[in-house]
Structures are given as structure tokens and as C-alpha cells.
Structure 1
Amino acid sequence: MAQARRAARLLASMKPDAIIASDLRRASNTAAELAALTGLAVEHDEALRETYAGEWQGLTHEEILHKYGEQYAAWKRGEPVRRGGGELETEVADRAAPVVLRHADLLPEGGTLVVVSHGGTIRTTIGRLLGLEPSSWESLGGLTNCCWSVLGEGARGWRLMEHNAGTLPEPVLGDDD
């Protein structure tokens, strides 16, 4: 919660026009901190939930490697893998990116939308918005808790202006070496 409060103070200075968030508890609570400072309502959308990882759900990194080593290796190479029977990364982008685009279209000219979601969903959505090949989405790297990316619309589409902002470089929980 301290991380969320700190992020909210920094993000409030960007004078957001709207906040959307996953309906899952951690994202919802994080968004509520920003809403309290800005007076904006948070619109929750289940399409912004984290990637469903099937049988991998709830396992530690070590357990996944032990039980699903080959599948994990294929996923890390950028192959389309239903981790533990869960969602493909492209399916996550298929459900989340349209929500972001719909809300961005509602903003006033030059407006700011804050999207509060989860690492995998954020990475796949950014990859989709930037028009990157799905096999390269992993190259965006993870986000540290309560950090953010900044995207802007340019003459040729979306541009990544900042990534993992709000912290000094440090290992991201869940990323491997």
C-alpha cells in the first residue's frame, strides 16, 4: 500500500483525466489510491485482469520449471504457449488492448488515461499497441510493483516514451536472470 500511495502521488501530478483498472483486488486497491487524490472515479474492467496461467497459476518459478520445464522454455523463446492450459499472450492482448483504446478515444485532446493492471497484461497490451510481433513482447521487460509505462500517440501510432518509470533499475519480482 505504501508503494501504491507513492505512485499515486507521482501519477496525480500528471493530472489524469480518467482511471481504468482490473477488477482484481491489488489493481483495484492501487487505483483507489490515485482516485482518492484526483477525485476521479475508477472504471473497473475484467478484461484488464492478469493472464490466466492455467495449471501454472499459484506455482513458484521453481515449481513451474520442475513440472513444465519444456513448456516454460518454449514460452521464454517467444513461442505461443498455453502455459498450463491457460491463455496465450495474444489472447490477453485481444481482450485488454481494445479496452485501453476505447477509453483513450474518450479522452479530451492531449488527455491522460491511467490504466492499472498487472505485469503480463500490461506488457502484452503495450506490445499490441506498439504493433510489435508477439514473439518480441518479452523484450519490453517487466514492471516493478506500482511502476508504470508512458505511451503517447505520435504521427505513426503509439510510442513508448517511458518504461518501468517510478523506480531506479532493480530486479522485477517474477523476472528471471
Structure 2
Amino acid sequence: MVPVARYDVEADGGSRGNPGPAGYGAAVLDRASGETLVETAEYLGVATNNVAEYRGLVAGLRAAHTLDPAADIRVRMDSRLVVEQMSGRWAIRHPELRALADEAAGIFPRERVTYEWVPRERNRHADRLANEAMDAGARGERWDPSASTAALDTDIAASAPAPASEPAVGWGSAPDLGAPATFVLLRHGETALTPQKRFSGTGGGDPELSAAGRRQASAAATAFAARGTIQEIVCSPLRRCRETAAAVGDRLGIPVAVEDGLRETDFGAWEGLTFAEVRERYPDDLAAWLASPEAAPTGGGESFVTVAERVEAARRRLVERYAGRTVLVVTHVTPIKTLVRLALGAPPEAMFRMELSAAATSVVAYYADGNASVRLFNDTSYLEN
């Protein structure tokens, strides 16, 4: 009896902009020896991360099928979305992804393919192929397998001495830092307190979305489903954010993780009051709060300095966890303004110069060198009738 061939398919895809210039890479390896049998990569033009990752999966499976259509296949990817959807645990709602998933599922019989999620550092082979394809596309060239360095031992490069001096980085010489961690910041939908402009933070009640807020959450979910760029969802622990995030997660088939650091400010004794009511009851405390980010609301509330410290700590955790991913972050006014302010390097008083509507979207990208780029602020276009 001829032994069954056992292959590992390692696949990845990326988009520099999501959507933006995109490419995929895939490799087929002999499972027993680890030998690379096939490498493939392609520049896709403008596409999303998710589409590029699925295209990489399809290419890897087709390459393995060409080697041996009767092989046993283990797919290894760092895209939890693709792994969970292809394993049947997450729903696939985006039509383009559904078509690609169906194409991938038809290459081998389902019982011969298993899917395994691996962290990004264990998927460097395919990741490098994808980046080589995107680099070639940026030069107006096709990916050349003879020039690929993906299979080289990365320890050699890591041990090489650094150059004596680094060239200055400018517009034309910036290094390729890879795909950023992109935070799509969504303020929760309205509650009963929102149109009344009442302080509503962590220290008061935990209001649910109003009927208007639920409609806003549904509209946001429809918009994100149409764009097809969201890969992960994280939200504040407060009810209005969990409900907004759930509306999107249910539509996209993506589970929601909770991050406590994204909760709203504790406004102390001001909870539930309007600005005018606070000014009438606590004029000195309000004046101090408006004058200094270190001043806290009456009754043990949080200062903007305190909030910024925990939001920044949450940001670091999420950037590390979701490097290279596009994450929907459902949170509140203060955390979103804080993230935008920090990305811009603006002073704390800039918080009072930003207007953020209910269910509005803002976008900040975080790069490997520590820099950030604000790409969008307070977009509510999808809420318009």
C-alpha cells in the first residue's frame, strides 16, 4: 500500500491599508521532514486583509493538490478568522469571503483537511512570501520565486552585525514596517442619557442601548459587513458597548473580547447630571476639572490623567495581541478621544476640542516602530438615511 502523503500548508495574506495594496504567500511542506516542497505568492492589487488571507489559503491548497490530490493536509495560519470559519465554528457572512471559503473547501475532501491557528511568529515563512509579493507589486513586478528569501534561516539575519550607521528616514526611504495594528474605534450607540447630554461613565448606572442606539448599532454592523475589513472585536465591559459590539459581532460571525481598560471615565457625583447641573451644583470643582487634566470630578471620580494611563496600558496590550490585525474597538467618548489625542501627540486640553457622535467611527493605525497614524475621525456617514 502506498503511504499517504502528509503536507502542511502555511498561508498568509496582508493588505497595506486594509483595503490597500495586498498580497498573499503560501508554502507546502512535507510534514515529516519539514522540507519546503512548493512556494507561491501573488500581488493582488487593492484588497482587504481577510480577502488576501483567504486567497493565500486557496493558493496553498491548490499547490498541495497539484503535488498529491490524495494527501492529508494540515493548514496552519495566524488568521483566527479564517481558521475558525473554515473549521465551521464561526459563521461566514461576508459574500466575498463566503465564495473564497467555498472555493477552498472544494479543493480537498473536508475529512482530509484540518485547520490549526498559530501565532504570527510561527507563520513567518508565509508572511514573508506575502510581503515579497506586495513589495514586487509596489515595483510593478511579479513575484519571482527564484529570488525568494522566505525559506532562509532567519537566525542568520538576526546574528548579522548591524551597519555602522543608518540612513536618514524620509518620505522616499521609510522602511517597510509591515501591516499595522489598525484600531477601528466605534463609540457605542445612544442610550436614554445620550441625547440629554448627561454625564454617563463607569460610576453611575449601566444603561442599555435605546431603540435609536440599537438602530445605530445595526447600521454600523451593516457598514462593517460591507467593507469586510474587521478581523477582531474588543469592547468596554459596560452594557452599552457590549450590546453595540454584539450587534456587529453577530453580523460578522466574530466573537467579542472584553477589555476592562476601555471603560468610560468614572464621573463620581456628576453621573447622570447635565453640564449645566454640574456647573450649578459644583462650580469650583467643574472649573478645576476644565483647567487641569489632573483634577477629578467631585466625589472620587477619575481625572483625565488617570483615564489616559489605563487607556494607554490597554492600547499597549491590544497592539501587542493584535499586531498586523484590524480590530473593531467599541468604547466610549473619553477613551476614543484619548487614543486619538495620544496618537497625535496633542496636549490633554485637546480633548475639549473634539466632538464625537454616538455610533461614530474613528481609525488609528499603530506601527511596529511605535508611531501612530490617525486615519479617520467621527465618521457617521453610514447612519444617514
TM-score w.r.t. length of structure 2? 0.40
Deviation of 1:79 after TM superposition, in Å, equals: 4.4
Deviation of 1:142 after TM superposition, in Å, equals: 2.9
2:296 and 2:303 in contact (8 A); partners too: yes
Secondary structure at 2:377's aligned position in 1? strand
Alignment of 1:27-66 (within 5 A): 27-66=241-280
How many residues are treated as equivalent by the alignment? 166
- When you count helix as a share of all residues, which structure comes out higher? 1
CA distance in 2, matches of 1:143, 1:22: 17
CA distance in 2, matches of 1:47, 1:59: 24
Deviates more, 1:128-137 or 1:16-25: 128-137
Deviation of 1:14 after TM superposition, in Å, equals: 4.5
Deviation of 1:124 after TM superposition, in Å, equals: 1.8
Over residues 25-72 of structure 1, what are the superposed CA-to-partner deviations in whole Å (9 max), with x where a residue is unaligned? 100000001101211111112221110011111112221010122322
Aligned to 1:135: 349
CA distance in 2, matches of 1:25, 1:156: 32
Q: Which has the larger radius of gyration?
A: 2
Gaps of 5+ in 1: 169-177
CA 55–86 in structure 1, closer or farther in 2 if over 3 Å, else same: same
CA distance in 2, matches of 1:14, 1:89: 34
Q: With CA pairs under 8 Å and 6+ residues apart, which has the higher RCO, 1 or 2?
A: 1
Alignment of 1:60-139 (within 5 A): 60-84=274-298, 85-107=300-322, 109=324, 111-139=325-353
Q: Are residue 20 (structure 1) and residue 234 (structure 2) matched?
A: yes
CA 78–165 in structure 1, closer or farther in 2 if over 3 Å, else same: farther
Q: Runs of 4+ in structure 1 displaced over 6 angstroms?
A: none
- When you count strand as a share of all residues, which structure comes out higher? 2
For 1:106, give the aligned amino acid: R
Q: Provide the identity percentage.
A: 30
Deviates more, 1:92-101 or 1:20-29: 92-101
CA 66–82 in structure 1, closer or farther in 2 if over 3 Å, else same: same
TM-score w.r.t. length of structure 1? 0.83
CA distance in 1, matches of 2:285, 2:215: 36
2:216 and 2:359 in contact (8 A); partners too: yes
Alignment of 1:135-154 (within 5 A): 135-139=349-353, 141-153=354-366
CA distance in 1, matches of 2:277, 2:342: 30
Deviation of 1:107 after TM superposition, in Å, equals: 2.6
1:97 and 1:129 in contact (8 A); partners too: no
2:221 and 2:247 in contact (8 A); partners too: yes
Secondary structure at 2:282's aligned position in 1? helix
CA distance in 2, matches of 1:17, 1:105: 15
